[in-house]
Amino acid sequence: MEAEGRAGRRIGDKIKDDLKRHSINKHISKFPKMESHYCSAISKHGFLAPDLSMKKMYDMYCEKQKQRNETPASKSLYKNDFSFFFYTLKKDTCGICLTKMKNPEQNEEFQEVYEEHIAEKTKVRENKEDCECELTGKENKKERLKTAEREMNNRTTSELERVNENGAITLGLPRGLSLFALSLL
């Protein structure tokens, strides 16, 4: 008979759950992800293609587990370990970026075109910010973000990490600085 852990659960069940979580994370990590371009320096959330759904991904996971002759994790465990959002197309998404999202492993020619496109996009945004700063007399978003990053880097990790009621680690932001305020930067 197995030893019991906390709350009467057997220790073997905990190990099985950890193995299933590992297989879930391994499965999810195989899908191409995009970073959020809103507050991407702070947010660690990834975005998946809009043609995917939780149900489709779970069905693919179950199918793969059956091929390996392993029991798949429950749908609730799969949902709990899921930390991604599904990307919905915005008006400002161009054809080159959409092609890259749909086929992340393109040939070298396309990769060069894509890198030039990203460099041009970055240059245009910087010029736009500089023009806005000249017109309004305010410091640009990059400077505000750098200031916020410096403030956060000056704090120790233990100060930044707090455990909420659910046991999840949250960031302790400097006073007067919220995620909403950072999203406006």
Give me the DSSP letters along 68-103.
TT-PPPPHHHHHHT--EEE----TT--HHHHHHHH-
State whether the Cα torsion 91-94-97-101 is positive or negative: positive
Residue 63 is predicted with a pLDDT of 92
Domain that holds residue 185: 140-185
**Whether residue 128 sits in one domain with residue 77:** no
Whether residue 153 sits in one domain with residue 131: no
The pTM assigned to this predicted structure is 0.40
Residues 4, 69: one domain? Answer: yes
Least confident of 93-102, 118-127, 141-150: 141-150
Domain boundary among 47, 70, 88: 88
* Judgement on whether residues 2 and 16 belong to the same structural domain of the protein: yes
* One domain for residues 49 and 67: yes
Domain C-terminal end among 59, 88, 117: 88
Q: Where are the beta strands (DSSP E) in 10-148?
A: 33-35, 46-48, 84-86
> Can you tell me the distance from the alpha carbon of 42 to that of 183, in angstroms, rounded to the nearest whole number?
9
Residue 110 sits in the same domain as residue 159: no
- Whether residue 72 is found in the same domain as residue 12: yes
* pLDDT tens digits, 105-130: 777 777 888 888 888 888 877 777 77
Count of domains forming the chain: 3
User: Is residue 22 located within the same domain as residue 43?
Assistant: yes
> Does 63 share its domain with 22?
yes
**Mean pLDDT, the chain, integer:** 67
Q: What's the rounded mean pLDDT across residues 59-63? A: 90
Cα–Cα distance between 23 and 70 in angstroms, integer?
10
- Residue pair 84/48 in contact (Cβ under 8 Å)? The answer is yes
**Residue 128 shares a structural domain with residue 103:** yes
